[in-house]
Amino acid sequence: NVWFTLPVGTPTRAQEQHAALAPRTHTAASTWCFAIVDDHPINRLLLRQVLLSHWPNATVHEAEDGDQAIALVNQHALDLVLMDMVMAGMDGIDATQAIRATAAGAQLAILGLTANIHPPDLANFKAAGLDRIMLKPFERAQLLETIETMLTSQPRSAGGS
């Protein structure tokens, strides 16, 4: 015979640790509209899962390059764009500059994400019109806190509530 005890109604240590890592936010129930721009499908999938796990009512659009990102900005009332720097086709630097030149993108929150640590490249990316920049691989909690700060400090688009 094998006997074991299962805790009922109390969180496990792993659940408590996971909850402690998740930032406390006031916007989790909001209907944000995000765009993820990255040429790697796995990166887009990971970001989509992180966003929707925290903002389950959000809409998430995806683009593989800068040209698709510009189209998304023109087609949707986005609240925030997560922009990769190095992509095939139009890169994140050129895409960010082009988005900032549009009426829809002038005030749009744009978070740059990159694994490139070369200071001149990072400076060019930031100067293209980013609001913030984070290095990959990112920590989930730090990413969520950064996005939360960006969302609550930007004017709301027609997509957020």
- 114-161 pLDDT, tens per residue? 999 999 999 999 999 999 999 999 999 999 999 999 999 866 444 444
Whole-number pLDDT of residue 95? 98
Whole-number pLDDT of residue 134? 97
Q: Are 110 and 81 in contact (CB under 8 A)?
A: yes
**Beta-bridge partners for 124:** none
Q: Can you give the pTM of this predicted structure?
A: 0.82
Q: Are 98 and 70 in contact (CB under 8 A)?
A: yes
- 40-59 pLDDT, tens per residue? 999 999 999 999 999 999 99
Confidence category of residue 8, pLDDT binned at 50, 70, 90: low
Say how many residues make up the chain: 161
Helix axes 119-127, 92-100, angle to 10 degrees: 20
Assign 3-state DSSP to the chain and report helix, strand, coil percentages, each to 5: 40, 15, 45
Higher-pLDDT residue of 88 and 6 is 88
Question: What is the share, in percent, of the chain residues with pLDDT greater than 90?
Answer: 76
The single-letter code of the amino acid at 140 is: R
Confidence category of residue 24, pLDDT binned at 50, 70, 90: low
